[in-house]
Structure 1
Amino acid sequence: MAWAVLLLVKLSPAIAHESSGPERAELQLASVNAAVAYADADGLVYGKNADRAVPIASITKLMTALVVMESGEPLTEWLEFRERHIPAPANAYTRIRKSSELRRGDVLRIALMSSENFAAYTLAGHHPGGYDAFVEAMNAKARELGMMNTTFVDPTGLSVNNRSTAADLVRLVRASSKYPQIREYSTTRYFTGQFRQPRYRLAFGNTNILVHRESWGVGVSKTGYLSAAGRCLVMLSEMDGRPVVTVLLDSLGTRSPMGDAGRIKRWLTTGAGGSVAASARAYEQKKNAAYASSDSASVSLN
């Protein structure tokens, strides 16, 4: 099938690119920063502050997964959950017992589907060259993918210094989707980890409710949250019969990214722009002012 050529038309602060399909109203999203792209075409269909570098919380773990897969280390190897060598930069509660073991593939699975921070840390610790080499590999991969406004300092996303843009994260989702294991692990609905040394079980659930809905055809998924990052979601799913990459950063409520995903799906299908709650509008204004203030302070220091 020949797809329509995408035209670039600037709509400040959002951008939209599309030359066919239904006549579309201006898309209304609760997320402060966003990007939408067809996975099988270049460019963005829609962007909202898409080039603004912001904290991305546990969306980080998608790059963690990419580095693990490209390391070539066996997914069947048992990994030990060791004491952290540096303090966690934020609350890092875990149910996993220190010194216990789980296979690398399952460690990666729970890091993606359930956003298990100790799992992401453990993957980095068992990387060839260790933790620091893993973080270096994350940044090297970002540069290789053309994610020029992205920086990683840890593999979990607990640090506010893990920063990227919505447009850069589109590239990350596209790259991650090439690995069947990342597709499977990130969209696993429920999983029971079988640990050893000692033997015990832990049940995990996916943090994205949309993976439970067949109509969405979710192929890659990752959620994230920090107070500085807001609610975040990146996803590859089927919309209007095509694979679509959705990146939603900094939303107010737990359901806001899901609501935005629904608005994007309707916008692509029917052209309806939708609407968002007044509380979300107020949150967006507050965050935009904070971003502007931060940018001004940065310029002054330089």
Structure 2
Amino acid sequence: MRTTFIRLAQTLACSLVAAACIAGPAHAARRQVVTVEKQTSPSVKRRISRTFVVARRRVAVHVADARPSFGQLAGLHSTQDQLDLKSSVALVIDQDTREVLLSKNDSAVLPIASLTKLMTGLLVSEAKLPMDEMIEITQDDVDTEKGSSSRLRVGTTLSRGELLHLALMSSENRAAHALGRTYPGGLATFVGLMNAKAKALGMKDTSYVEPTGLSSRNQSSANDLAMLVSTAYNDPKLRELSTSPGYQVAVGNRTLSYNNTNRLVKNQNWDIGLQKTGYIHEAGQCLVMQAKIAGRKLIMVFLDSAGKLSRIGDAERVRKWVESNPRVMPTSTLIRQVNG
């Protein structure tokens, strides 16, 4: 009887939160859940309360996902390409010859989500800061932009090297923010250096306002991101950390296990030298990679892909296309220089 009641209460919480998120403020739903809670024991109340919070968070994510991306608003998804890619922006470049094999809306400037962390990692690595220095996660690192969650609680202390690993491999937002916040000179200095580095690399379409990618004002083009990937690939640390399949960190008496956000790093069909994923609803699903395919070193950029697995599907389509056409001719030569 008790189990049945809990399940009914949980279902009610989910339904009410969904209705509230769509039709009005969540506190209206909360009042109705409280009515149910009054008839239960304290332990059941706690379970219902937790269910309410989780349900509200899940519905909020679904509502956010339903909003159109910047690329969709700009009509970029109507652009056709020879591989029927699901990404509205795509670019594939031969890293050695700097020739473009495939391009689609490659000059469009869009939000880049956590692809931002590739620049964050590049600056931290190039600064040669002590990787064993301990850094504490503070309230300043908590996401107030999107309200995303993190397993790195306020007060958690990890080394700079551990934070860099988590930022690049599993796209940990608090880790990336802490890296920027504790950079010599502070966060404002760090963001300034991000933009200065982009300018120095010739990334004329790129602008950063923070180090995580949670802000939609972090924007770039596929052409610019190809330059960044090519530069980042020259850093052994970024290659190692971004392609690490998994990583564990000790937090107090707990061990937290993290996985790479890009499932292709565990795929034996892929030889990936560098990668980074990204997602916020304004940017859609994003992916940049350096990978060796059919003996060629390629840089691939996919932005504003619709669907959780579509960026992976696009990468697979490109790989199979190149493998089945090993002598595929470039469509053009990249006008702007891409560092080799």
Structure 1 runs not aligned, ≥5 long? 1-12, 16-25, 273-302
Q: Which letter does structure 2 place at the counterpart of 1:180?
A: P
Q: Which letter does structure 2 place at the counterpart of 1:264?
A: V
1:32 aligns with 2:83: no
What are the superposed Cα offsets for residues 192-219 of structure 1, whole Å, 9 maximum, x if unpaired? 1123xx4532110011010001221111
Please give the alpha-carbon distance, in whole angstroms, between the structure 2 residues aligned to 1:101 and 1:160. 28
Please give the alpha-carbon distance, in whole angstroms, between the structure 1 residues aligned to 2:318 and 2:269. 14
Equivalent position to 1:147, from 203, 207, 214: 203
Residues 90, 301 of structure 2: 8 Å contact kept: yes
1:244 aligns with 2:298: yes
Superposition TM-score, scaled by structure 2 size: 0.70
Please give the alpha-carbon distance, in whole angstroms, between the structure 1 residues aligned to 2:155 and 2:112. 29
CA displacement at 1:86 relative to structure 2:
8.2
Q: 1:175 to 1:114 in 2, by over 3 A?
A: same
Please give the alpha-carbon distance, in whole angstroms, between the structure 1 residues aligned to 2:207 and 2:267. 33
Q: Which residue is equivalent to 1:100?
A: 156
1:171 aligns with 2:227: yes
SS in 1 for 2:140: coil
What are the superposed Cα offsets for residues 41-84 of structure 1, whole Å, 9 maximum, x if unpaired? 22422210000000011111001101111111111211111111
SS in 2 for 1:84: helix
Residues 141, 178 of structure 2: 8 Å contact kept: no
Q: Which letter does structure 1 place at the counterpart of 2:127?
A: S
Please give the alpha-carbon distance, in whole angstroms, between the structure 1 residues aligned to 2:280 and 2:101. 27
Q: Aligned runs of 1:222-241 on 2, under 5 Å?
A: 222-241=276-295
Residues 272, 291 of structure 2: 8 Å contact kept: yes
Residues 141, 177 of structure 2: 8 Å contact kept: no
Q: Alignment identity in percent?
A: 41
Please give the alpha-carbon distance, in whole angstroms, between the structure 1 residues aligned to 2:278 and 2:136. 25
Please give the alpha-carbon distance, in whole angstroms, between the structure 1 residues aligned to 2:84 and 2:283. 20
Structure 2 runs not aligned, ≥5 long? 1-78, 327-340
Q: Which residue is equivalent to 2:269?
A: 215
Q: Which residue is equivalent to 2:18?
A: none
**Bigger helix fraction:** 2
Please give the alpha-carbon distance, in whole angstroms, between the structure 1 residues aligned to 2:106 and 2:253. 46
Q: Aligned runs of 1:124-163 on 2, under 5 Å?
A: 124-163=180-219
Please give the alpha-carbon distance, in whole angstroms, between the structure 2 residues aligned to 1:219 and 1:86. 31
Residues 14, 46 of structure 1: 8 Å contact kept: no
Q: Larger C-alpha radius of gyration, 1 or 2? A: 2
Q: Which letter does structure 1 place at the counterpart of 2:211?
A: P
Please give the alpha-carbon distance, in whole angstroms, between the structure 1 residues aligned to 2:101 and 2:132. 39
Please give the alpha-carbon distance, in whole angstroms, between the structure 2 residues aligned to 1:251 and 1:176. 23
Residues 14, 49 of structure 1: 8 Å contact kept: no
Q: Which residue is equivalent to 1:255?
A: 309
What are the superposed Cα offsets for residues 112-151 of structure 1, whole Å, 9 maximum, x if unpaired? 1111000000000110101111111110110011100000
Please give the alpha-carbon distance, in whole angstroms, between the structure 2 residues aligned to 1:82 and 1:43. 45
Q: 1:96 to 1:87 in 2, by over 3 A?
A: closer
CA displacement at 1:14 relative to structure 2:
8.0
Cα RMSD (Å): 1.9
Please give the alpha-carbon distance, in whole angstroms, between the structure 2 residues aligned to 1:130 and 1:162. 19
Q: Which residue is equivalent to 2:173?
A: 117
Superposition TM-score, scaled by structure 1 size: 0.79
Q: Which residue is equivalent to 1:206?
A: 260
Please give the alpha-carbon distance, in whole angstroms, between the structure 1 residues aligned to 2:80 and 2:295. 24
SS in 2 for 1:172: helix
CA displacement at 1:267 relative to structure 2:
1.7
Q: Which residue is equivalent to 2:237?
A: 181
Please give the alpha-carbon distance, in whole angstroms, between the structure 2 residues aligned to 1:118 and 1:101. 12
Q: Which residue is equivalent to 1:44?
A: 100
